[in-house]
Structure 1
Amino acid sequence: MSEIKPCKVCNCSRQKYYGVVVVSLNQLKVRGREALGFSADTPVSVVLDDDGTIVEDDAYFLCQPPNSKFMILQDKETWKSLKRYDGGTAWLTKSFDVGSDAVDSTHAGVEPWRGLAEQLRQDLASIILMSEDDLQTLVDVPRVALASALAFPEQKTQDLQDTLQRVLDRREEERQSKELLQLYLNVVEKERSQDLTQAETVQDEADSMDVDSAVGFSSRTLLVLKEKTSPETRLSNEELQTVLKRGVETMMGELRWDRDRTTVLLRACEEELSKRLQQVHAMQSLSVHSQKSNSTSATQPCKEKTAAKRRK
């Protein structure tokens, strides 16, 4: 008993597709006439809908996969391509002939790889415009089926699939190279940020050590002393006295300055403190003089009254 094969048939305009189940090519013609409304005595021919290959014997018919699409042609009718091509790139616009099922060949029951195979058959250069998924689809197609769709010898089809695989491998290598490069750049940027942060931390620690190295000495005092211009004017009298008590040798170690620079600073502190003390003494003298003057003014009227009484 022959194998039952589900098929789809259409006329040359592809306006409608009908599903039939047959066991032979002759039965396909009979069922096809009935489905399409042709007269029973109308001579017809059968071709593959996707590429127009003429089907003349049962052996080739039975080799086709289930749900293959066949076009039933009456006398003087010819097969026309489902898509129009222009230099191998017009297929991108998906310009189709008429037919409700021509919008998407997948909906019409055609396997996706057949449309890709037709693109290659029309123009091999269309490989460069295919996605990786399309290329992988063609690589995975059985060599015999792809050779039949392309009308290529099996060896040429094998060479083509090998070429497609190399294209896929090259694209994968390029992608991995880009990913590795981006990863390297990210690592470099991260290390650079860490180095900058570490350098800032070390500098902060060094400054902190410089300030805190003077045990019992005000951190603020050291920071003020390291100012570029007239640091002695920014210190209190107590701080100036503390600096002078420590002397040149101690302050050299705490400030990490040379002797000349430290000596100049201490001399300036001494002069500033002396000037302030003189101002304090002057203010105290003025205050004492003012108090004496007030006391004298208050006792003078009493003396005058006493003298007046004695004269009387």
Structure 2
Amino acid sequence: MEDENAQKVQKPFKICNNSREIRKGIVACSLEDLTSKVRDKLDLVSDNNFTVVLEADGTEIDDEEYFATLDPNTSLMVLTSNQKWSPPYPSCKLTKDNKDQVDDARGDELAGLVGRLKTNICHLSLLGGPELELLSDMDPESLADLTYPDKIFLDQLKEASGRFLCEKRQAQDALDLLRLYQEKEAAEEKAN
């Protein structure tokens, strides 16, 4: 088998994990060679099943014939167990003042924010008022058409961000009321 692989053309590939945080380079001459090297480079245990897909669109690479058609330096993604391919998202820009930004910048920020939340929805609870407001004001119809085909997720994200925003505002109102009460109490004690 090694003699056969030696005769095949070695091609370089770029591989990454599902989150695109780990990126490595691999040279392989066959799909079998690629999967073996992926397992080593990404420290995958031998019983761990994984799938190799095109990073650009998630097309699964599952046979030697398709592998042979890949160009050198093709970017590949490794998906383990129940991971799914997702498109690359623009970086999430969390800013304190969104009022001065133009609509295009807000659209990019919204797309990045939705992308990050789709990857890990737990981050929703960590967002501040401006980001929650941006999400609760979004139009799921237009975003679903342009970026994310999952309209149900977008509807649920809009509704959840609206609830979080309402709860944050209620908590802030309660804190403001408590502060006013304490100031009044302090003023009364000072007067006596």
Normalising to structure 1: TM-score of the pair? Answer: 0.29
Larger Rg: 1
Select the structure that is richer in helix. 1
Choose between structure 1 and 2: higher strand proportion: 2
